Structure 1
Amino acid sequence: MSQTDSPLVDLRCNAHTYPDGTVGMHDVDFSVYPDEVVALVGGNGAGKSTLLEHLNATLMPDEGELVVDGIAVTEDNKPHARKEVGFVFQDADTQLVAPTVLDDVLFGLQNYGMAGEEAEHRAREALATVDAAHLEDRVPHYLSGGEKRLVGLAGVLVLEPSVVVLDEPLAGLDPERSQLVAQRIRQVHKEGISVVLSTHDLEFAAEIADRVCVMADGNVVGGGTPREVFYDDDLLDRANLRPPAAVRIARDAGLEGSTRPVTEAELVEALSDHETLSETIRTESLDGRSGD
């Protein structure tokens, strides 16, 4: 990922106010670049879902502009944004509308005028991409939460978007299903699709994201790599967030000033290196004393 590239999605939202007068977002400048995974983190009510829903024109700025693939999005060309930016909602039941899983994945293609064998081939390919081909004849209503997320993901992949947006993709899932969904998200990114997701799980954000954006009070208040963000106490305090467990343990172990691990794997490696270094120092010290 290089931000010298032109953004796939460029959102400037000076204001978005809901009909009841609640300010959902203000003064937001947010872009998505090729070949990156971006995690939005922040407390409840910070504006994460509101921002995500602006990326494919589910919501439109009251003041500002959304540009997708170089085209300014208006009320007249919203389908362009929705094809290029696929959205997987937190509540998968709102997205699954057809009698079978295969019919559901076909639904988006049919809306764009594709039918017949080509459409079915594309739909089955999308289900295979998320390892859900075995579900094609199932009734969506009876799927597990994790399976519904995968089918929702297939339903946006079938349109061949350049960006996939997921709102709290692990919410309500047990650890096994969370791991499965996370693996499929990584696979989507390997296929060359940029991913934007919101999450309350900072360990997950540290594992999966190239870039983390922190939201508070309807605005993006900071961002950077996971290592930059999760060791920035002032930024996390502003959003009422605690750093991931790996960061807290690293600080307790005195590793903050060196490798700055943010994931469990990085922490294990850093602790191992630290113990090896400490043992080397002890050995050299003892050898030095014995030579006196």
Structure 2
Amino acid sequence: MHEVDFSVYSDEIVALIGGNGAGKSTLLEHLNATLIPDDGELVVDGTSITEDNKPHARKEVGFVFQDADTQLVAPTVLDDVMFGLQNYGVPGDEARERAREALATVDASHLEDRIPHYLSGGEKRLAGLAGVLVLEPSVVVLDEPLAGLDPDRSQLVAERIEQIHEDGISVVLSTHDLEFAAEVADRVCVMAEGNIIGGGTPREVFYDDALLADANLHPPSAVRVARDAELGATAQPVTESDLVSLLTEAGNSSTTPTPSADGHRHD
């Protein structure tokens, strides 16, 4: 990575997109001081992060890894969610109560007595997310949160991501799924060769052919369909629901009776 200038603001979901090796995971691992930059500065909530104060970054910025098994270490899900709190010296009863609240936040209370490594991929992601939320971070970082999940589990995880955002927590995620990025992101940053080469709203990014070409990316299917059908030159749909609305509107317009010159309708 080199010359990366990246900020996360309150109350937003940021999606990092780019090809394999673009630097997405490496950038994410800097955000909570899993990695410390050799040259440059990481500032979290106004505090410059060094080797000496990494815990500040890790409390404010929660990280959910792509491989959930690297994050789940305790004999039960409840114990695992409590683990971070206990590291910070929170007493057992309080840690247990807060862990149960965090599991309830992601609708995973039914998992508390389960053995983490016997969970499905989606359930592991929810357990990892609860383990991060229990520390009450201001930002949650997720590396490829939908990787390896079937459609139902992907939808479940996506809903929980939007839910925690609605609760006032900023979210940064990396993804190869541009349909997902278009659905959830307020801002999209495009990475290539270890740097951020562009960004903006999903509409700004996914209709910028030159930017996507530089990152070897193709726009979401809604963008491609709208262009192929010569629809929405100004509306510019980026999600499936955008496209459906546009097609519905176009269909209604094409069937609306038009008045004749004498003021009578001709159907």
TM bucket (normalised to shorter chain) is over 0.9
Residue 277 (structure 1) aligned with residue 253 (structure 2): yes
- 2:74 alignment partner, one of 88, 95, 98: 98
Tell me the residue number matched to 1:150. Answer: 126
Deviations, residues 83-130 of structure 1 (Å, cap 9, x unaligned): 000000000000000011000001000111112211111000000001
Deviations, residues 22-68 of structure 1 (Å, cap 9, x unaligned): xxx11100000000000000000000000000000001111000000
> Structure 2 length normalisation: TM-score?
0.96
Distance 2:134 2:63 in 1: 12
Distance 1:53 1:289 in 2: 70
- 1:48 alignment partner, one of 3, 18, 24: 24
Matches within 5 A, 1:143-292: 143-280=119-256, 283-284=257-258, 287-288=260-261
Deviations, residues 111-167 of structure 1 (Å, cap 9, x unaligned): 111122111110000000011101001000100000000000000000000000000
Distance 1:102 1:47 in 2: 33
Report % sequence identity: 78
Tell me the residue number matched to 1:116. Answer: 92
Tell me the residue number matched to 1:63. Answer: 39
Of the structure 1 ranges 247-256 and 163-172, higher mean CA displacement relative to structure 2 is found in 247-256
Number of positions where the alignment pairs a residue of Structure 1 with one of Structure 2: 264
Distance 2:231 2:89 in 1: 57
> 2:180 is aligned with what amino acid?
F
Instruction: Quote how far apart the aligned CAs of 1:290 are.
Output: 10
Instruction: Quote how far apart the aligned CAs of 1:252 are.
Output: 1.4
Matches within 5 A, 1:12-31: 25-31=1-7
SS at 1:46's partner residue?
coil
Distance 1:196 1:288 in 2: 57
> 1:250 is aligned with what amino acid?
A
Of the structure 1 ranges 249-258 and 199-208, higher mean CA displacement relative to structure 2 is found in 249-258
CA contact (8 A) 2:126 2:157 kept: yes
Structure 1: where are the runs of 5+ without partners?
1-24
Instruction: Quote how far apart the aligned CAs of 1:257 are.
Output: 1.4
Instruction: Quote how far apart the aligned CAs of 1:276 are.
Output: 2.3
SS at 1:164's partner residue?
strand
Distance 2:182 2:166 in 1: 18
Of the structure 1 ranges 256-265 and 153-162, higher mean CA displacement relative to structure 2 is found in 256-265
Distance 2:141 2:177 in 1: 16
Distance 2:195 2:54 in 1: 24
> 1:284 is aligned with what amino acid?
T
- 1:74 alignment partner, one of 29, 46, 50: 50
Tell me the residue number matched to 1:139. Answer: 115
> 2:168 is aligned with what amino acid?
G
Distance 1:95 1:36 in 2: 25
Q: Quick one: higher RCO (CA 8 Å, sep 6+), 1 or 2?
A: 2
Instruction: Quote how far apart the aligned CAs of 1:288 are.
Output: 4.5
Which structure shows the higher strand fraction?
1
Report the RMSD for the aligned CA atoms in angstroms: 1.3
Of the structure 1 ranges 266-275 and 230-239, higher mean CA displacement relative to structure 2 is found in 266-275
Instruction: Quote how far apart the aligned CAs of 1:256 are.
Output: 3.9
SS at 1:138's partner residue?
coil
> 2:59 is aligned with what amino acid?
K
